[in-house]
């Protein structure tokens, strides 16, 4: 099939590379993108095209970007009249998800969310959660690749919820580890804290350099926690817990 991907970041480029490996023709739009994006796209085997060529000839559009850009991309693709399968692979709140669906009145909408690292064939699996009427069809795009699709529901929203649930645990745990290291550093007890990493629940405390390492993703994880907070609000849960952890990423991104 012919696929257009927006945009080949660390995750999107690898999802697209696996589509290329599966035999699909994958296009992207290099105009206005960074040299790093160009390098990732070339390494993934993507075909650079104009926007009209990429979307106009696509049977599938894959959107994998930072959450804060998802609605704008859907609106732009919707204005083009795209009528194929649109895979929204960002974990969005129910409100943001509804806005993306409304922006694509002619498309068949598939909700998606990635759990795990970029799919490069490493030991940790990459699960692509999918939900919606065409979820099974979308899952088939990655057949035989390093991506493991998981159809989790017949309606859009289920995949984002599955991803958000894991992100709350996994990235929330990382935010707490950052705070723990900052607190320990303030009192000069970092060594005592890292000594606890051998405990069954202390794996995140092994490396005191974790806060600095996570600085590179804080700009993206912060908006993800905004979406997560809204998702929790909609479920009648404590969204303020996610908003508090969001501040960790706000501080790191500065």
Q: Tell me: do 150 and 188 sit in the same domain.
A: no
Does 141 lie in the same domain as 62?
Answer: yes
Tokens of 5: 């991907």
pLDDT attached to residue 69: 94
Of the candidates 107, 117, 62, 115, the one whose C-alpha atom is nearest the C-alpha of residue 88 is 62
C-alpha–C-alpha distance, residues 187 and 232, integer Å: 34
* Residue where a domain stops, chosen among 98, 127, 154: 154
pLDDT of residue 187: 98
Per-residue confidence (pLDDT) for residue 122, from 0 to 100: 84
Among 118, 138, 154, the domain-final residue is 154
What pLDDT, on the 0 to 100 scale, is given for residue 91?
84
Residue 184's φ and ψ, nearest 5 degrees, are -65, -40
Longest dimension (CA), the chain: 59
* Cα–Cα nearest to 193, from 101, 204, 43, 98: 204
Q: How many domains does the chain have?
A: 2
**Which tokens in the block code for residue 50?**
């104009």
Mean pLDDT for the chain?
97
pTM of the complete model: 0.94
Write down how long the chain is.
Answer: 254
Residues 83 and 179 in one domain: no
198: domain CATH number?
A: 1.10.1040
What is the span of the domain harbouring residue 220? 162-253
209 and 102 in a common domain: no
CATH number at residue 16: 3.40.50.720
Task: Report pLDDT for 194.
Answer: 98
Asked if residue 202 and residue 174 are part of one domain, the reply reads yes
What are phi and psi for residue 28, nearest 5 degrees? -145, 170
């Amino acid at each position: 099939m012919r696929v257009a991907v927006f945009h080949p970041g660390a995750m999107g480029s690898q999802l697209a590379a696996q589509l290329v490996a599966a035999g699909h023709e994958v296009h992207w739009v290099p105009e206005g993108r960074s040299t790093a994006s160009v390098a990732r796209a070339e390494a993934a085997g993507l075909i650079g095209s104009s926007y009209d060529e990429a979307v106009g000839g696509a049977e599938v559009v894959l959107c994998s970007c930072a959450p804060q850009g998802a609605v704008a991309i859907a609106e732009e693709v919707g204005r083009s009249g795209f009528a194929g399968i649109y895979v929204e692979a960002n974990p969005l709140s129910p409100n943001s998800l509804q806005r993306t669906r409304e922006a694509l009145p002619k498309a068949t909408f598939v909700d998606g969310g990635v759990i795990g690292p970029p799919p490069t064939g490493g030991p940790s699996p990459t699960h692509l959660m999918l939900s919606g009427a065409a979820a099974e069809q979308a899952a088939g795009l990655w057949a035989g690749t390093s991506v493991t699709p998981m159809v989790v529901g017949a309606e859009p929203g289920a995949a984002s919820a599955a991803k958000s649930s894991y992100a709350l645990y996994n990235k929330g745990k990382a935010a707490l580890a950052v705070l723990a290291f900052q607190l320990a550093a303030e009192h000069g007890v970092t060594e005592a804290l890292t000594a606890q990493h051998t405990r069954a629940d202390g794996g995140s405390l092994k490396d005191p350099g974790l806060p600095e390492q996570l600085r590179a993703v804080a700009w993206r994880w912060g908006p993800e926690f905004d979406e997560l907070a809204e998702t929790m609000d909609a479920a009648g849960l404590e969204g303020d817990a996610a908003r508090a952890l969001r501040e960790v990423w706000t501080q790191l991104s500065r």
